[in-house]
Amino acid sequence: MDGVLNINKPSGMTSHDVVLAVRRIVKEKRIGHTGTLDPMATGVLVLCLGKATRIARYLEAGEKEYQAVMRLGVTTDTLDAEGRVLETRPYEPPGRSQLLRALDGFIGTIMQQPPVYSAIKVRGVPSYKLARQGKAEPLKPRTVTIRHIELTAYEDPFISLTICCSKGVYVRTLCADLGESLHAGAHLTRLVRTRSGQFGIGHAVTIEQLERLAASDSVEKSLLSLDEALSEFPSVRVDDAEAIRISHGNRIHCLRDFVPLHPAMVRIHDQSGRLLALATAQENDFKPELVFSCDE
């Protein structure tokens, strides 16, 4: 079974748990996800099935959108509500204008330190395993981009936010850092991923819905083809000669009227509309990154 599946992940399951459940339901061994969600979190988890696993890294790079709720005045070791309380701190509740100014300080390209309770590996071992053994090591800060933060509700000690950001952003860390900037401390209490790239929560299926589709042999109705899943990338149609060249992994000349975009990634189609390749648009040519066979 080949295609891309938008799952609405329930709370209490790891992303790996979801993969195992979907593998059991659809009888497909080759399944990968495009960015983990913590067990507490819910929402969009994009899975690539069968041959679609080849495009997982391109889907993972898409912008993410979250709805988050944080609590001021309490810090935890995991930076969320599932962790051990480290400190209950007295603080002066910030005014709305103060809170908005603090949020502005996190918009743009910033350095963010991942939480030690994360799947990032340290010498081959997931950091969260070391943390559970009391052997946690600070992780290197990473460059991430937060495009937009909207304050959607505020009733002390709870702050509700909508966040649009790049891959790699830890909302737990953002909430903890925001709490520190307000001299209050904070932790994440609720997180929903509402969008990953073009995949929104409004079109996500639950595991229960997927089970019902499987029972009626209708799982394909919930799958997007590779071409549909990559539809955020512009499409270029080429003639028969160029189609043969790129199908063999060779560069082809850019079309005269094509203006490279950033990121300059395009889908190459033949005259019939069949997806041939995913390519980077360079100054004078298209360089294939992935070449697809006729049945993909």
Neighbour-count burial for 27-44, b at 16+ CB within 10 Å, e otherwise: ebeebbbbbebbbbbbbb
Residue 240 phi/psi, 5-degree rounding, is -60, -40
- Determine how many CB atoms are found less than 10 A away from the CB of residue 192: 19
Q: Confirm if 7 and 45 have CB atoms less than 8 A apart.
A: yes
For residue 190, give the nearest of 177, 202, 172 by alpha carbon: 172
CA distance 217 to 25: 11
Q: Omega into 234 within 30° of 0, i.e. cis?
A: no
Please identify which residue in the block is written with the tokens 């005014």: 95
For residue 106, give the nearest of 150, 76, 70 by alpha carbon: 150
- Token readout for 62 is 């898409």
The answer to whether 38 is a known catalytic residue is: yes
Task: Supply the residues annotated as catalytic.
Answer: 38
